[in-house]
Amino acid sequence: SKVAVLEGVVTREPLLDKIFFFNWVKDCSCTVKVYDVSWCRIRESSTVNSGLRPHLVQLDNNMAGPYFDPEYENLSIRINPPRVSVDYTSCRDCTLVKVDSMNKPGILLEVVQILTDLDLLITKAYISSDGGWFMDVFHVTDQNGKKITDSKTIDYIEKALGPKGQAADWIKSRPGKRVGLHSVGNHTAVELIGKDRPGLLSEIFAVLADLHFNIAAAEVWTHNTRIACVLYVNDDTTYLAVDDPSRLSLMEEQLKNILGGTQDDEHVAHTSFSMGFTHVDRRLHQMMFADRDYESADTLNIVEYPPPLKPKIFVEHCEEKGYSVVTLKCKDRPKLMFDIVCTLTDMQYVVFHATISSDGPYASQEYYIRHMDGCTLDMEMEKERVIKCLEAAIQRRISEGLSLELCAKDRVGLLSEVTRILREHGLTVMRAGVSTVGEKAKNVFYVRDSSGNPVDVKTIEALRKEIGLTMMLNVKKAPASSREPAEAKGWAKTSFFFGGLLEKFMP
């Protein structure tokens, strides 16, 4: 079979079931790439010179196996690149971020993830992605409720959400919240899931210190008596990733002994290693979801949230458009929209339309969804499961009690020492974030009394005396809403340090 090329005009005779891509260069030569209708590469021709008259390029029909051209994968982005607008002049009290692009699976989560990684608060949002196009408008502020005017932040948003941000190489290089990747050069990611108990985190950190592992970064969540951790560790001498199988096996064995649980238990403890390329918040949601923390049977130790903190969630059917409508109202807080969209996405639901708004300390959100197979939530059992999973996603970040913010010179065993002191004073860690930047260790621990009572003032003073001698300690009440007075805003950076440090790594 032959392909005729003349002055950029292509005739296909008789290969009507084939698809051709021509790469033209200035000297009138071109490279021909041929695919059959199943997108399998047949053969790439040698470069030919079209000149001013037809040239016939001989192509054989032998398949070379499945092939997906990277140029084709980005073809739709090149034809219809995303359009991003960041406007801080139209609204008096917020910045508008508008995104128009071709629709693709998971695009809403990508956009929300980028905004929340910058510690931006989404006060309102309008989402529409039905059909082939995706159109969003986000009203965002900083942690103090002020509009975003910083040129560096705006430039980052435009690059991250624009055409460059869609390229695979740029996505891998940008400082998203993959814990520790922008503050730790070499590390081993350790994922832990198991039953929570007082002092468990202290024991985990002590084991790692005894095995000569340095904890460079970490995040810890607890919910419904379960604990999930993503720890980024390296050798405490070389500060390089540890790849010795025997050493990793010993670590895994000792951590499993601490976490407890057997194969016969309903919830089994797990320890695993990874390269750590998944966004850490999404990974923690996935770990908790896989562990079914939303249906914990240990009702004796579950934290009961007061009525103002308990979310109200309803799932209804929209007959007219064929959607299931998820409506929720709860206390507003940072990353609330991310947690909802992340959970719906991981449950294989697609968001077609959504409206988000904040009214004082409360947030109202409405999502029009279908399952990926096009079905709506018709069975009561399905609706109940979605409600339970969304409740769990919201409550995993609710931190009643105190936030302890610590800053000190990094050293081996620091975390083991701090968590031991917290345990000795009868405090339970509900959530934690650990980061290392240079020689500085910055940690946040959300704690409460192990008996469930408010933390005693005497306990706080004792902590200040014992911990404050060797490091800076800031103690704050952890409210459940982002709409607290400005002086209480310090707690709200629930990305702990990673989002706040992004500007240090922006180009």
Q: Are residues 151 and 90 in the same domain?
A: yes
- Output the 3-class SS for 391-413: HHHHHCCCCCCEEEEEEEECCCC
**Same-domain pairing of 411 and 460:** yes
Answer with the one of 109, 138, 173 that is the final residue of a domain: 173
The residue among 106, 139, 173 that closes a domain is 173
Same domain, residue pair 408 and 463: yes
Record the tokens describing residue 144, joined without a space: 């103090």
CA distance 285 to 289: 6
- For residue 96, tell me if it sits in a domain: yes
The Cα 1–Cα 410 span in angstroms is 68
Measuring CA to CA, which residue among 325, 347, 328, 345 is closest to residue 336?
A: 328
Tokens of 118: 């910058």
Output DSSP code: residue 168: H
Is 446 contained in some domain? yes
When pLDDT is cut at 50, 70 and 90, the band that residue 69 belongs to is: low
Looking at the domain assignment, is residue 449 inside a domain? yes
Structure tokens at 350: 């697609």
- Say which range, 254-268, 322-336, 392-406, 479-493, has the weakest mean pLDDT: 479-493
The whole-angstrom separation of Cα 456 and Cα 352 is: 48
Decide if 341 is inside a domain.
yes
3-state helix, strand, coil in the chain (%, to 5): 30, 35, 35
Residue 428: give its domain's CATH number: 3.30.70.260
Going by C-alpha positions, the residue among 65, 44, 176, 103 that lies closest to residue 499 is 176
In a domain, residue 323? The reply is: yes
Do the domain assignments include residue 359?
yes
273 plus 416 within the same structural domain: yes
Same domain assignment for residues 7 and 60: yes
Q: How many structural domains does the chain have? A: 4
Domain finish residue from 368, 395, 422: 395
Q: Please indicate, yes or no, whether residues 418 and 343 belong to a single structural domain of this protein.
A: no
Check if the beta carbon of residue 351 is closer than 8 Å to that of residue 326: no
Give tens-digit pLDDT for 408-450.
888 888 899 999 999 999 999 999 999 988 888 899 999 998 8
| Model confidence, pTM | 0.76
Is the pLDDT at 150 greater than 90? The verdict is yes
Q: Per this entry, what is the length of the chain?
A: 507
Q: Are residues 415 and 389 in the same domain?
A: no
Does 34 share its domain with 58? yes
3-state secondary structure of 44: strand
Tokens of 361: 């300390």
CA–CA distance, 502 with 115 (Å, rounded to integer) = 12
Residue 504 in this model has a pLDDT that exceeds 90:
no
What is the H or E stretch that residue 248 is in?
A: helix 245-259
Q: Output 290-298 pairs: Cβ under 8 A, ≥24 positions apart.
A: 290/193, 291/193, 291/226, 291/228, 291/267, 292/267, 293/223, 293/224, 293/226, 293/392, 293/396, 294/224, 294/388, 294/389, 294/391, 294/392, 295/388, 296/224, 296/225, 296/226, 297/266, 298/195, 298/224, 298/225
Range of the domain at 330: 307-395
Kindly state whether residue 285 falls inside one of the protein's structural domains.
Answer: no
Residue % of the chain over a pLDDT of 90: 48
Say if 506 falls within a structural domain: no
Whether residues 218 and 258 fall in one domain = yes
Please report the DSSP string for 410-476 in residue order: --TTHHHHHHHHHHHTTEEEEEEEEEEETTEEEEEEEEEETTSSPPPHHHHHHHHHHHTTTSEEEEE
Q: Which amino acid is at 198?
A: P
Six-digit token string for 176: 């998203």
Q: Same domain for 84 and 233?
A: no
For the ranges 63-77, 97-111, 119-133, 176-190, the lowest mean pLDDT is seen at 63-77
Return the pLDDT at 34.
56
Most confident region among 308-317, 365-374, 483-492 by mean pLDDT: 365-374
> Do 125 and 98 belong to one domain?
yes
Clarify whether residues 274 and 403 are in a common domain. yes
pLDDT at 278: 73
pLDDT digit string, tens, across residues 288-304: 999 999 986 555 455 56
User: For all residues of the chain together, what is the average pLDDT?
Assistant: 77
Q: What angle do CA 450, 454, 456 make, to 5 degrees?
A: 90
**Closest by Cα among 489, 478, 505 to 141:** 489
Measured CA angle at 289 (ends 283, 292), to 5 deg: 145
